[in-house]
């Protein structure tokens, strides 16, 4: 319906490229647009909180790119404001809503894995090393944790629930941004998750969910539409899943917030605030 940018010419170029009818030369103008119901905040990390606040104060539901905000205090403020105004706020953790992840949750709920004790995942990419690039500049929320690590951490939470104990270590760049971060979480029942994320070396980008009776091996790239196998303790493949999703699969998170708005509910089961 509309796009907003800090400069009119930028908004106009984007609108022309994607056939968007309304180009706004400021974010304030966009959130004031009466035709707009939901605002997708896709600005750099440090702007998420202020942009979402403006949209919520204008009465718009909000889909916020990950990371939701830079820190927990900002996140709580956004969720409290959305709740007070009876508006939907959803993190754009697109992986949660992909069909292969929905099927994986069904398999786990069926008990096919037995007791799930471990999640292992990596998100390792060879990304630009320019110190001024948003990935490396602290003032732009740079670092592997917020840009990449959030994916496997969200997977661990999705499968095993909120961590009860958190251990982590990182390797830093000259800018002070983290180039690599590793985490070990302990979850309920003694389950553990391990993740590693890096912005300066490319890896396999696969994940495994391990249970007492079977495991799920998710192929590269596990956080995008992909395939997986359910394998029993004797290494026999019980189920093979092949994704038939066109493109990157961003449409499913949009479907989710539209569904929540239409139903008049503030939170879904897959990713509540």
| Calpha distance 90→254 (Å, rounded) | 10
Q: Which two tokens stand for residue 264?
A: 């008049």
* Contact assessment for residue 247 and residue 258, using Cβ atoms and an 8 Å cutoff: no
Q: Exactly one of 60, 66, 132, 173 is catalytic; which is it?
A: 66
* Contact assessment for residue 30 and residue 3, using Cβ atoms and an 8 Å cutoff: yes
> Which stretches of the chain are assigned E, i.e. beta strand?
2-4, 22-24, 38-41, 61-64, 89-91, 116-124, 165-172, 178-186, 192-198, 207-211, 214-218, 228-232, 237-241
| Calpha distance 114→160 (Å, rounded) | 13
66 annotated active-site: yes
Nearest to 123 by CA among 54, 69, 196: 196
Q: Which helix (H) or strand (E) holds 76?
A: helix 72-84
Which residues are designated catalytic? 66
């Amino acid at each position: 319906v509309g796009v907003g940018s800090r400069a009119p010419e930028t908004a106009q170029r984007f609108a022309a490229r994607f056939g968007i009818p309304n180009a706004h030369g400021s974010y304030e103008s966009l959130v004031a647009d009466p035709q707009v119901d939901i605002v997708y905040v896709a600005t750099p990390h440090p702007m998420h909180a202020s942009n979402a606040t403006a949209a919520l104060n204008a009465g718009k539901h909000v889909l916020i790119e990950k990371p939701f905000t830079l820190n927990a205090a900002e996140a709580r403020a956004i969720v409290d404001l959305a709740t007070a105004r009876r508006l939907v706020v959803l993190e754009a953790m697109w992986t949660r809503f992909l069909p292969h992840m929905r099927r994986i949750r069904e398999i786990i709920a069926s008990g096919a894995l037995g007791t799930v004790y471990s999640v292992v995942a990596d998100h390792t990419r060879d990304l630009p090393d320019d110190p001024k690039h948003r990935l490396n500049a602290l003032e732009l929320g740079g670092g592997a944790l917020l840009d990449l690590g959030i994916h496997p951490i969200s997977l661990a939470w999705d499968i095993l629930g909120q961590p009860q104990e958190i251990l982590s270590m990182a390797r830093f760049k000259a800018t002070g941004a983290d180039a690599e971060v590793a985490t070990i979480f302990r979850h309920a029942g003694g389950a553990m998750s391990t993740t590693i994320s890096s912005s300066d070396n490319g890896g396999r980008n696969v994940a495994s969910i391990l249970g007492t009776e079977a495991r799920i091996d998710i192929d590269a790239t596990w956080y995008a539409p992909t395939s997986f196998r359910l394998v029993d303790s004797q290494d026999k493949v019980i189920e093979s899943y092949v994704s038939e999703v066109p493109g990157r699969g961003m449409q499913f998170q949009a479907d989710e917030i539209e569904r929540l708005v239409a139903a008049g509910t503030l939170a879904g089961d897959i990713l509540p605030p």
